[in-house]
Amino acid sequence: MTFFEQLSNRINSIDSILCVGLDSDTAKIPIHLQEEDLPQWSFNRRIIDATHQYTAAYKPNLAFYETESGWKSLVETIAYSHGKGIPVILDAKRADIGNTARHYAKLLDMADAITVNPYMGLDSLSPFLSRIDAGIFVLCKTSNSGGSDIQNLTLSTGIPLYEHVAKLANGWNENKNVGLVVGATHPNELQRLRDITPDLPFLVPGIGTQKGDLESAAKNCLSSQGVGLVSSSRNILFAGEEKSFDKSAGESAKRARNSLNVFRN
Amino acid sequence: MTFFEQLSNRINSIDSILCVGLDSDTAKIPIHLQEEDLPQWSFNRRIIDATHQYTAAYKPNLAFYETESGWKSLVETIAYSHGKGIPVILDAKRADIGNTARHYAKLLDMADAITVNPYMGLDSLSPFLSRIDAGIFVLCKTSNSGGSDIQNLTLSTGIPLYEHVAKLANGWNENKNVGLVVGATHPNELQRLRDITPDLPFLVPGIGTQKGDLESAAKNCLSSQGVGLVSSSRNILFAGEEKSFDKSAGESAKRARNSLNVFRN
């Protein structure tokens, strides 16, 4: 079963396209957890317990796990999510020359999907793309304001770079394992990208804290096969405080799932 | 003292622009080291002992350290290099939205400089660029063949994307802490980039295994201030085998340093 088939099953079985981003910043997690051996794992376990019934996939961003304790927490978190049957997308935004990319691709031994950066071209992504069982989300049009600095440059062919990247990614989809990262903060561009690459699932961050357009995200993230995800992180993880943080997170995830379904159905 | 001032001192004191890439692939290190607690640290320590007198900077690529044991090895390796007065560049090729990039920028608490990917634009790099004591090498024209897929696209202004990135990076150099990553495998483009950004130090990979042009690399890596690096990795790390691997690495580093100096002086 491919990653996107697995994800499709998960989306349909719990009726949710919500992806919860585990940007579990140690400095922001409740103080009573900060004294535990692996604070991020303690936090993530409670977040998963509270949100899993509304969550199609979890997406830890590796930036928050690049310490010795962080790495242990990440391994535990992935195993726990898998124990509940929920796929894990590593938000890594990696790419490197072939020899090195092969090492980064080993991240897919521990998780189910990954985000990658297209700037270094096809051979820097080939070790990921050759993983037919994995999902490879190529950064296309990102949700940050600076996303326009490079991605919106107009090419000599008259189209913006991000459109060209989408078309390239579409051509890299021989194994039916390619998706795109497209921010919710630019609804027109999201719509345009959906039109030109109907078969690619989108991972759409930028709702919640980043105030992206929820309707556009829910409608346009889905491929022709009905597969896609809208991601929210801080609005769910840090919805509440201290002892009740997990209850608040669960409620926030439920609200996000329901809001997305209004526009999806 | 800025990173590039520190690097300039190092280059001048040992008369070398050689950067040794610590792509210390566990599968390739000598078998007698693989049984140690931290094989990569055991390997790197011997490599540093054998090569430090010819080496202006070490450059561990994070792809090879993304395990629990790898992370410990990386921390030890950086401390050991610092103990010998040699700066360390993390080859990370990172970038992310602002909130997350701030976490990645913490990598600069452990090392002196980092490589970053420009695709997500200025705000994804700002947390790095604001570190006035660090060196920030922006990927511009990479040494891999796929580097042309995106980087060589012609913009509506008639210039290739990599040239535009170089000009942007030049504008981001308010703190005099920006350099470019430019592969040795494209001598004409390397020359052109040197001409349009004379003040930016270049980090030039792609000699050795990747067969880049040594002369072009040595001549063009240097900024108007005489600062720049040419990087070699596998040709040095894996120059020999088993018990004599470190002696071979030292000899290979010495040859590389001397070859570069022929064209530099």
Q: What is the pTM of this model?
A: 0.95
The stretches of A84-160 forming alpha helices (DSSP H) are 98-104, 107-110, 122-129, 147-151
Structural contact between residues B78 and A1, judged by C-beta atoms closer than 8 angstroms: no
Residue A254 to residues A14, A18, A51, A259, Cα–Cα distance (Å): 11, 9, 8, 9
Interface residue B61 vs chain A (CB under 8 A): yes
pLDDT at A213: 87
Q: Which of A59, A72, A84, A93 is catalytic?
A: A93
d(CA B59, CA B113): 9
Mean pLDDT over B248-259 rounds to 96
Picking from B25, B73, B103 by the largest number of A CB atoms within 10 A of its own CB, the best residue to mutate is B103
Q: Do B93 and A97 touch (CB under 8 A)?
A: no
Q: What is the mean pLDDT of residues B59-85?
A: 94
CB contact under 8 A, A119 and B124: no
Partner-chain contact A139 B120, CB within 8 Å: yes
pLDDT exceeds 90 at position B106: no
Task: Give the pLDDT score at B102.
Answer: 85
Q: Decide if A168 contacts B149 (C-beta within 8 A).
A: yes
More confident residue, A209 or A181: A181
- Range B212-235 average pLDDT: 93
Q: Kindly report the nearest CA distance between residue B13 and chain A, in angstroms.
A: 32
Query: Measured between CB atoms, does B254 come within 8 Å of chain A?
Result: no
Q: What is the mean pLDDT of residues B93-99?
A: 86
Q: Is the pLDDT of residue B94 over 90?
A: no
DSSP state of A209: G
Of residues A206, A236, A202, A251, the one with CA closest to residue A17 = A202
pLDDT class for A209, splitting at 50, 70, 90? low
* pLDDT of A210 strictly over 80: no
Interatomic CA distance for residues B258 and B265, integer angstroms = 10
User: What does the alpha-carbon distance between residue B156 and residue B151 come to, in Å, rounded to a whole number?
Assistant: 14
Instruction: pLDDT band for A265, please (50, 70, 90 cuts).
Output: low
Q: Residue A261 pLDDT > 90, yes or no?
A: yes
Q: B65 pLDDT exceeds 80?
A: yes
Asked if residue B260 lies in contact with residue B217, where contact means CB atoms within 8 angstroms, the answer is yes
By the 8 A CB rule, do A249 and A239 touch? yes
Which of A99, A100, A149 is opposite residue B121, by nearest beta carbon? A149
- Whether B121 and A64 lie within 8 Å, measured CB to CB: no
Model confidence at A211: pLDDT above 80: no
Full set of structural domains in chain B with CATH = 3-167+177-264 (3.20.20.70)
Q: What is the pLDDT of residue B147?
A: 92
Q: Give the CA dihedral A165, A170, A173, A176, nearest 10 degrees.
A: 130
pLDDT above 70 for A30:
yes
Q: Is the pLDDT assigned to residue B211 strictly greater than 70?
A: no
Over residues A158-166, mean pLDDT: 98
**Contact in structure between A59 and A20 (CB atoms under 8 Å):** yes
| pLDDT tens digits, one per residue of A240-251 | 988 899 999 999
How do B89-94 and A57-60 pair as beta strands?
A: unpaired
Residue B204 predicted with pLDDT over 90: yes
Cβ separation B100–A164 shorter than 8 A: no
Strands of A178-182's sheet in order across: A57-60, A18-22, A229-232, A202-204, A178-182, A135-141, A113-116, A89-94
Task: Note the pLDDT of residue B103.
Answer: 84
Q: What confidence score (pLDDT) does residue B243 get?
A: 87
Whether the predicted pLDDT of B77 surpasses 70: yes
CA distance A203 to chain B (A): 15
- Cα–Cα nearest to A217, from A253, A177, A186: A186
Q: Which of A96-110, A118-132, A216-230, B118-132 has the lowest mean pLDDT?
A: A96-110
Residue B213: the pLDDT is 87
Facing B146 at nearest CB: one of A75, A103, A120: A120
Whether residue B246 is predicted with pLDDT greater than 70 in this model: the reply is yes
**pLDDT at position A166 over 70:** yes
Give the CA diameter of chain B: 56
Least confident of A201-205, A211-215, A243-247, B77-81: A211-215
What pLDDT, on a 0 to 100 scale, did the predictor assign at position A68? 79
Of B63, B146, B153, Cβ closest to residue A103? B63
Contact A114, A134 (CB under 8 A): yes
- Is-contact B99 B29, C-beta < 8 A? no
- DSSP annotation of A93: E
**pLDDT tens digits for range B108-149:** 999 999 999 999 999 999 999 999 999 999 999 999 999 999
pLDDT band, very low/low/confident/very high, at A31 (cuts 50, 70, 90): very high
Mean pLDDT of chain B: 94
Per-residue confidence (pLDDT) for residue A106, from 0 to 100: 86
pLDDT of residue B210: 60
| pLDDT classification of B183: cutoffs 50, 70, 90 | very high
| pLDDT confidence bin for B199, thresholds 50/70/90 | very high
Q: How far apart are alpha carbons A241 and A263 in whole angstroms?
A: 30
* Nearest to A95, CA basis, from A32, A169, A42, A41: A169
Compute the C-alpha angle B35/B37/B40, nearest 5°.
85
Q: State the DSSP code for A61.
A: B
Q: What percent of chain B has pLDDT over 90?
A: 85
Closest CA to B183 of B156, B160, B216, B155: B216
Q: What percent of chain A has pLDDT over 90?
A: 84
What would the mean pLDDT of A30-39 be, rounded to a whole number?
93
* Model pLDDT, residue A98: 79
> Is B93 noted as a catalytic residue in this protein?
yes
Structure tokens at A150: 């490079």
| Residue ranges of E strands in B161-227 | 178-182, 202-204
pLDDT of residue A25: 94
Q: Across the interface, do B104 and A25 touch by the CB < 8 Å criterion?
A: no
The pLDDT, as a whole number, for residue B163 is: 98
In this prediction, residue A109 carries a pLDDT of 93
Q: Is the pLDDT of residue B253 over 80?
A: yes
The whole-number pLDDT of residue B55 equals 98
